[in-house]
Amino acid sequence: MKRIMYAVWTVLLLSTACQKNWNAHYSEEQQNASPLNLLEYLKSKPQYSEFVSKLEEFGLADELERDQSLTVWVVSNERMAALNSMEEDLKFVLSYHINSLMYDNTKLKSGLRVMTFNGKYLTVERAGEQVMVGDAQVLNGNQLCQNGVVHEVDQILTPDKSIYEYIEELGDDYSLIRDTLLAMNDTVFDLENSIPVGVDPTGNTVYDSLFVITNPIFDRVNFRSEFANVTMFMPSNQVITSCFDDLAELYDQFGKEFLREDTLKAYAWIKDAIFYNEVIESSFEEDIVSAFGKLWKPSVQLVDRDYKRMSNGRIYDITKLKIPNYEHIDMIKQLFHYYEFVPDAEKDALFTLNNVTRMQLNDDLTVGFPTLGIEVTYRTLHIHGDLDDGLPASIEFTPIMLEQKPDGSTGYKVVEVPPGEYNLYMGFRHTSHPFVNIYVDDVPVAEMLNVEPATPWHYDRSTNVVPGTRYNGWGGLVGPVVIDGDEVRSFKLTVEFAGLGKSSVERIIPYHWTLVPTENNY
């Protein structure tokens, strides 16, 4: 018990000693504080005379005598020459050197943002005893006065631009994103803050009118407000163009033309993915979600980690941009009867028939779609096996698509798709169709799959069809598949007889296949 009491007593003594040391230090700081107000103090220091002169010239000196706590970031005479060479409004620059509230040395911590007299935030960073404010280093800090504190810095402080101001001043290398964002602006009359000054002859109130800029993006992330603290990933024209070139090349590999609506969809994703309602640290590695709910994967989307500091956040320049597959690929779809366009000498390299007794192509059904002005003939492969041999008929094939040859004839090429997770859909001539097993790259996707019901298996007349029609749908869901690897590649699809169901013969009659990216397919 005595040992315990001794330990407690020792802790109390140490705590009291620490408190006394801190109180003594704090009292020493207070005792060293000048009884002069900020203006009087600065005038008493010859090395700050030019700074004081400029404050007086622009009507700011009186602020330092008021009954308020302020912080002044002072510049010595030998560093004041830079002020006159600045293109900015000098009063605006000088106002950036004063802020409300007293920020002594104990309060200057990394990440601190202080609002200055010109309405701009000043950012503080600290590494040990080194304190940076904006781009300036504090040389002689913590000069305490009767109504505040003075910190001498090694250069004139240049006010940071807001993200909005930076966008306004972007050059033509960034015209795509600049013009898109600014075109969304609207200038509206601010009735609440406008001042009535009279009445016109018709009896309407006349205002000393105030107008404000609105933009729908501001509702989610106000990159114009000085009170915001946000991050933007900035794409140049070159980055966007390269991104679209990659899309066009990718579409060509699975048989889709890169159309204007594809460009608009991709551009809408870019606009929604580049703004964040937080300051993103340069070391970020985890996936993040934008203010508009778009997923950004830093392992895929590449940025220059040397960010630009803004008065209301940060800007990172994008160096590589990719639209996520699930955002821009609606479906990858081809038909089985394209088999007939492959020369006989090349068929064996693409198609393997197992336990097949015969195969033929049939035009099963012709349907008109008056609202679309088109007519479609559903042409299918009929693959037959011998029910008595006990060996299931199957077709293994590398998916192909059609393309026009230089001489105008129809040829083919192998379909290649980006890696990732997809949902596989298929369609058949459903009537009395046997059960099937489906494999992708020899991996089972579905076993004993019943494709006899008309909905959703009847050709491509179900699931995400053209609105108001039964045209060009996905078909029935077979299951999820993963195309592995790091590069765009071909794959193998196998359809195998699995049981009679309502049928009396062993046959497979496939019409089409469709891959639809899942949300895991970035």
User: Quick one: 300 and 354 in the same domain?
Assistant: no
Question: What is the pTM for the complete model shown?
Answer: 0.81
CATH number (domain holding residue 296): 2.30.180
User: Quick one: 350 and 280 in the same domain?
Assistant: no
Q: Would residue 13 count as lying in a domain?
A: no
pLDDT of residue 189: 62
Alpha-carbon distance values, 158 to 79, 95, 100, 365 (Å): 13, 11, 18, 74
Q: Would residue 493 count as lying in a domain?
A: yes
With beta carbons less than 8 A apart as the criterion, state whether 385 and 403 touch.
no
The alpha-helical segments, DSSP class H, found in 183-341 are: 237-253, 260-273, 325-328
Q: Determine the distance from the C-alpha atom of residue 90 to the mean position of all C-alpha atoms in its chain, rounded to a whole number.
A: 37
pLDDT score of 519 more than 90: yes
pLDDT tens digits, 166-224? 999 999 999 999 999 999 998 766 556 656 666 667 767 665 556 678 899 999 999 99
User: Quick one: 341 and 454 in the same domain?
Assistant: yes
User: Quick one: 280 and 372 in the same domain?
Assistant: no
SS3 460: coil
- Residue count of the chain, please give it: 522
SS3 147: coil
User: Quick one: 75 and 121 in the same domain?
Assistant: yes
Q: Would residue 21 count as lying in a domain?
A: no
pLDDT of residue 2: 37
Residue 328, both tokens:
């821009």
User: Quick one: 353 and 264 in the same domain?
Assistant: no
Range list of β-strands (E), 146-284:
148-153, 186-189, 195-199, 205-208, 211-214, 230-234, 275-276
With beta carbons less than 8 A apart as the criterion, state whether 462 and 424 touch.
no
- Residue 44 has a CB neighbour count (10 Å cut-off) of 11
Mean pLDDT of 298-314: 96
Q: From 295, 323, 351, give the residue that closes a domain.
A: 323
User: Quick one: 342 and 220 in the same domain?
Assistant: no
User: Quick one: 352 and 432 in the same domain?
Assistant: yes
pLDDT tens digits, 77-108? 999 999 988 988 999 999 999 999 999 999 99
User: Quick one: 240 and 171 in the same domain?
Assistant: yes
Structural domain containing residue 426: 332-517
| Total count of domains within the chain | 3
Mean pLDDT of 256-266: 93
- Please give the angle made by the CA atoms of 236, 237 and 238, to the nearest 5 degrees: 90
Cis peptide leading into residue 456 (ω within 30°): yes
Q: From 266, 300, 323, give the residue that closes a domain.
A: 323
pLDDT score of 20 more than 50: no
With beta carbons less than 8 A apart as the criterion, state whether 290 and 296 touch.
yes
Instruction: Please list, in sequence order, all residues whose beta carbon lies within 8 angstroms of the beta carbon of residue 349, skipping any fewer than 6 positions away.
Output: 398
Instruction: Please list, in sequence order, all residues whose beta carbon lies within 8 angstroms of the beta carbon of residue 59, skipping any fewer than 6 positions away.
Output: 91
pLDDT score of 285 more than 50: yes
CATH number (domain holding residue 506): 2.60.120
Q: From 280, 297, 323, give the residue that closes a domain.
A: 323
pLDDT tens digits, 227-241? 999 999 999 999 999
- Residue 78 has a CB neighbour count (10 Å cut-off) of 8
Mean pLDDT of 317-338: 97
pLDDT tens digits, 366-397? 999 999 999 999 999 999 999 999 999 999 99
pLDDT score of 53 more than 90: yes
User: Quick one: 302 and 344 in the same domain?
Assistant: no
Q: Return d(Cα 289, Cα 500) in angstroms, integer.
A: 49
pLDDT of residue 23: 37
Using a pLDDT cut of 90, give the percent of the chain over it.
85
DSSP code for 301: S
pLDDT score of 11 more than 90: no
What's the pLDDT band for 399 if we cut at 50, 70, 90? Answer: very high
Q: Would residue 24 count as lying in a domain?
A: no
Q: Would residue 158 count as lying in a domain?
A: no
| The residue type at 426 | M
User: Quick one: 316 and 342 in the same domain?
Assistant: no
The phi, psi pair for 212, rounded to 5°, reads -125, 155
Q: Return d(Cα 357, Cα 222) in angstroms, integer.
A: 68
pLDDT of residue 32: 80
pLDDT of residue 202: 72
What's the pLDDT band for 462 if we cut at 50, 70, 90? Answer: very high
pLDDT of residue 27: 39
pLDDT of residue 205: 64
Which residues partner with 131 through β-bridges? 126
Q: Would residue 134 count as lying in a domain?
A: yes
Q: Please, what's the b/e burial string for 264-297 (b: 16 or more CB within 10 A of its CB; e: otherwise)?
A: eebbbbbbbbbbbeebbeeeeeeebebbbebbbe
With beta carbons less than 8 A apart as the criterion, state whether 247 and 262 touch.
yes
pLDDT score of 24 more than 80: no
Q: Would residue 12 count as lying in a domain?
A: no
Q: Would residue 26 count as lying in a domain?
A: no
What's the pLDDT band for 62 if we cut at 50, 70, 90? Answer: very high
Rounded mean pLDDT of the chain?
Answer: 91
What's the pLDDT band for 22 if we cut at 50, 70, 90? Answer: very low
Mean pLDDT of 495-500: 96
User: Quick one: 133 and 253 in the same domain?
Assistant: no
Q: Strands 121-127 and 205-208, how do they pair?
A: unpaired
